[in-house]
Amino acid sequence: MDHQEEQEIAPSNEGFQFRMGLNDNKAGMEGLDKEKINKIIMEATKGSKFYDNELKKDQQVNQRIEKMLQQKSQLTISQIKKAQVQVDKLALELERSRDLSRVIVHVDMDAFYAAVEMRDNPELKDKPMAVGSMSMLSTSNYLARRFGVRAAMPGFIAKRLCPNLYIVPLNFDKYRAVSKEVREIFSEYDPNFLPLSLDEAYLDITDHLEERLTWPEERRRFLVGTGNSGNNSTAKCEPEETQCTSPELFEDFPTFLPDQCHDRSRQDTERENKERTQENVLVFGTSAEEAVREMRFRIEQKTTLTASAGIAPNMMLAKVCSDKNKPNGQYIIPHDRQAVTDFIKDLPIRKVPGIGKVTEKMLRALGITTCTDLYQQRALLSLLFSDTSWHNFLHISLGLGSTRIERDGERKSMSTERTFSEMSSAEEQYELCQQLCKDLAEDLNKEGLKGRTVTLKLKNIKFEVKTRASTVSYVVSTEDEIFSVAKEILKAEIDLASPEPLRLRLMGVRISGFLSENEKHQKSITSFLSLSKATKTKCSEMADKSDQATQAPAPQRESFFNQKRAARQQGLEQGSTSSEQNVNDVGLKTTDESKAPSAPSSSVCHEETIFICPVCNIRQDTSNLAVFNRHVDVCLNKGILEELQEHNPNQDPRRPIKTDLRNGECIKLTALGVFQLNRLLNAIKHLLLLLRTLHFSTYIHSFTTHFQRKLEDC
């Protein structure tokens, strides 16, 4: 292996990772130099399956680079000149729309998990420690970093770098609790702040600053050492020590008021507390820097943990800034264009969020390492990269980024996955798969989500990852529904590998393709199919149960049909609330147009439900749902059986669908319990009816197209 590959394993951006500077070791200070660290890591990693896979991935990246350079060599000067004109046109446009009016802050807690653990266990304070397990570390403290121990490193390798390393298991509940405290402070500066993770957030403090100008000084005055952290009654919360208890993650960087803390004896401080309370008061100014300093001060007072912050006109810059004076520091880019371009000039592209190891390597192959390079090569980049990529590059090189902090929209996927020691038994694999589906179903249920795409993720013992997805025409959300799809994917993979077993080290299940708000009333296929079992009176109960999670609690909601009607009248698809759309509603009409049955409204409405069969379209003289369902079922079956007999009198409508469909095609259907031809047609017909009733013409189209051939076959 060549040197470059080694660099990939022990990343080449030490300047960034080892911020403390490994050569700055003071006399007597323990630690390892860069070379030694790389050597130990290599010895520990070489020859492992993990490393082999890393090499393989690296080769692939090299090939991508190769291909890119090949492309580059074929470009003509006139092509590049032409591109230059186009790119500069856009650049000018972007420049014109540059917005420097917002004050965006990115706040980042220093070595968060490690800091929390050290705070709660003082014995760890002066020891190298990391949070995680022997398999994987999440973060490490300052002392451990001197040995090259850092986040995303397996604990057993860290132990080789630093045999005295303490590894503390993750304790998310604790971090969440601390995070909540910090977020309470964030919200005072920006009620719409955007959390990125437990220890990071973006804030737009523009409005705060404007208001802050009108505040009396009193509102910017804070007592030192009397923060919330003093609420517990441990010894460390005495005033003179409160200031010192910030874990010394980075001893070179003092916490607030360090001189008072270190230089005063206890007696002195106590006396001064009484006599010179003025001295224990801090007043912050009205500028952005002062506001952020105040925020960080309050965080430290409340949690005894330190944070770093970046202040800039947009999110991208703020994020880069927060790293500049880490730990326990802040950095501001003033709000004028020159300051931005000065800052960007020598900025290594790798520091920009979104540019990772691979992109860095690709750009480096083009001689690009700084943002200036990035700008100078903008024409070339527009020819070698996709539109989204080079647009992004151009934004970066101009120092542009989002100026509005937008909260994330709806989630797009939900997943769960697990790593384990080698598992080769198919039986175990199915069992695990089911467990994952169960866990996922629980999570889905918490958020009331249902999706149409199930993705199975497999990683074999060679660390090769494979994903296989299956999108169904209905929604799934329960353990059984998800598993019925996932297990068929798994089966296909097992069959494919057979007679060799799948030798797995990880399995995961993901759901995506969630229903948008105005699709949520759709029924899952099981509750849908349950209608055809209408002889069982449990039908409506089952449907209710399976859709519990999507039921809107809105007391005054309109019935779905009323909303639809209103929407049609307005000529647009108004987003309906996720009002419960029971399958049985297919044939129901409510005479009262304004009120849902569950509405706690005081007015008593006389609501009369009319049952109209969606098949024969005849009003049924009953108010009993079970009776009505039975009628619909008979009606449906009658029609289907007649049709079947008509088209092919010799065909047994109850014969297995396996005889008609190819194996792969009936997988999903058999998984749902549709084994027979008549059941299949029943389901299709019923769904079509439902879709038609709901005016979902797009669905009807794709559905009928998909099944047309099957119908013809029948």
The minimum distance between CB 45 and DNA, in angstroms, equals 3
**Residue in 276, 412, 589, 706 binding DNA, rule: CB under 7 A:** 412
Among 190, 200, 479, 481, binds DNA (CB under 7 A): 200
- 220 vs 468 by CB, closer to DNA: 468
Q: How far is the CB of 642 from DNA (least distance, A)?
A: 33
Tokens representing 159 are: 């132990």
239, 334, 353, 614: residue in contact with DNA (rule CB under 7 A): 353
Residue 544 in contact with residue 582, Cβ under 8 Å?
A: yes
Smallest gap from residue 639 Cβ to DNA (A) = 29
DSSP-derived secondary structure letter, 676: B
Closest CB 127 distance from DNA, rounded Å: 19
Among 4, 13, 48, 574, binds DNA (CB under 7 A): 48
- Smallest gap, in angstroms, from Cβ of residue 467 to DNA? 4
Does 154 bind DNA (CB under 7 A)? Our answer is yes
Amino acid at 428: E
The whole-angstrom separation of Cα 326 and Cα 19 is 8
- Which of 19, 57, 565, 685 binds DNA (CB under 7 A)? It is 57
**36 is a contact residue toward DNA (CB under 7 A):** no
Q: Specify the stretch interacting with DNA by CB under 7 A; choose among 304-312, 405-413, 528-536, 615-623.
A: 405-413
When the beta carbons of 257 and 414 are compared against DNA, the nearer one is 414
Q: Which is nearer to DNA, 396 or 586 (CB)?
A: 396
Tell whether residue 404 is a contact of DNA (CB under 7 A): no
Residue 453 lies near DNA (rule: CB under 7 A) = yes
Binding-site member from 243, 306, 403, 416 for DNA (CB under 7 A): 416
d(CA 375, CA 280) in angstroms, rounded, equals 49
Which one of the spans 277-285, 461-469, 520-528, 671-679 is the region binding DNA (CB under 7 A)? Answer: 461-469
Q: In what order do the strands lie in the sheet with 166-168?
A: 137-140, 129-132, 166-168
As a three-state string, the secondary structure of 336-350 is CHHHHHHHHHCCEHH
**Which among 330, 322, 326, 374 has a CA at the least distance from the CA of 348?**
374
Q: Name the token pair of 674.
A: 């549709």
Judged by CB under 7 A, the number of residues near DNA is: 67
Cα end-to-end span (Å), the chain: 61
Rg of the chain, C-alpha, whole Å: 32
Question: Residue 452 interacts with DNA (CB under 7 A)?
Answer: yes
173 vs 387, beta carbon nearer DNA: 387
Please give the Cα distance from 110 to 139 (Å, whole number): 10
For position 196 contacting DNA by CB under 7 A, the verdict is yes
- Does residue 7 belong to the site contacting DNA (CB under 7 A)? no
Closest approach of DNA to the CB of residue 546, in Å: 21
705 binds DNA (CB under 7 A): no
- Per-residue tokens: 125: 């304070």
Q: Is 150 among the residues that bind DNA (CB under 7 A)? A: no
Number of H helices, E strands in the chain: 29, 17
- The answer to the question of residue 696 lying near DNA (CB under 7 A) is no
Q: Which of 50, 66, 277, 446 binds DNA (CB under 7 A)?
A: 50
Q: Least Å distance between CB 120 and DNA?
A: 20
Widest distance between CA atoms in the chain: 105
DSSP-assigned letters across all residues of 412-462: -EEEEEEEEEEE--HHHHHHHHHHHHHHHHHHHHHHT--EEEEEEEEEETT
Task: Choose which of 415, 518, 676, 693 interacts with DNA (CB under 7 A).
Answer: 415
Q: Within 10 A of 702 (CB to CB), how many other CB atoms are there?
A: 12
One residue of 14, 88, 181, 417 binding DNA per CB under 7 A: 417
Question: Which of 388, 602, 663, 705 touches DNA by CB under 7 A?
Answer: 388
Q: Which range in 121-129, 261-269, 349-357, 687-695 contacts DNA by CB under 7 A?
A: 349-357
Of 159 and 335, the one with the shorter C-beta distance to DNA is 159
Is residue 73 part of the contact set for DNA (CB under 7 A)? no
Which residue of 14, 19, 61, 80 would you call a contact of DNA, by CB under 7 A?
61
CB 34 within 8 A of CB 14: yes
Q: Contact between 414 and DNA (CB under 7 A)?
A: yes
Given a contact cutoff of 8 angstroms between Cβ atoms, the answer to whether 562 and 593 are in contact is yes
612 bridge partner residues: 619
> Quick check: 134 binds DNA (CB under 7 A)?
yes
**Shortest Cβ distance from residue 687 to DNA (Å)?**
16
Residues 6 or more apart from 255 whose CB is under 8 A from it?
Answer: 243, 244, 246, 261, 300, 306, 328
CA dist 410 to 56, 449, 511, Å? 36, 11, 14
DSSP string, 113-163: HHHHHHHH-GGGTTS-EEEE-SS-EEEE-HHHHTTT--TT--HHHHHHH-T
- Asked if 291 contacts 106 with a C-beta cutoff of 8 angstroms, the reply is no
Contact characters 512-531, DNA, x per CB under 7 A: -x------------------
What CA–CA distance (Å, rounded) separates 473 from 691? 12
Check binding of 411 to DNA (CB under 7 A). yes
Contacting residue, 80, 469, 494, 626, with DNA by CB under 7 A: 469
Report in angstroms how near the CB of residue 152 gets to DNA at its nearest: 4
Which of 90, 209, 506, 616 contacts DNA by CB under 7 A? Answer: 506
Q: Give 416 or 527: the residue with its C-beta nearer to DNA.
A: 416
Q: Which is nearer to DNA, 48 or 623 (CB)?
A: 48
**Site map 354..373 versus DNA, x via CB under 7 A:** xxxxxxx-------------
The dihedrals phi and psi of 223, each to the nearest 5 degrees, come to: -80, 135
Query: Which DSSP symbol is given to 288?
Result: H
Does residue 63 bind DNA (CB under 7 A)? Answer: no
Pick from 307, 283, 316, 102: nearest CA to 190: 102
Length of the chain: 714
Choose which of 157, 400, 486, 669 interacts with DNA (CB under 7 A): 157
Helices within 575-676 (DSSP H only): 625-647, 663-671
Q: Which residues bind DNA (CB under 7 A)?
A: 44-45, 48, 50-51, 57, 60-61, 64, 134-136, 138, 152-157, 159, 196-200, 319, 352-360, 385-389, 408, 411-419, 421, 443, 452-453, 455, 465-471, 505-506, 508, 510, 513
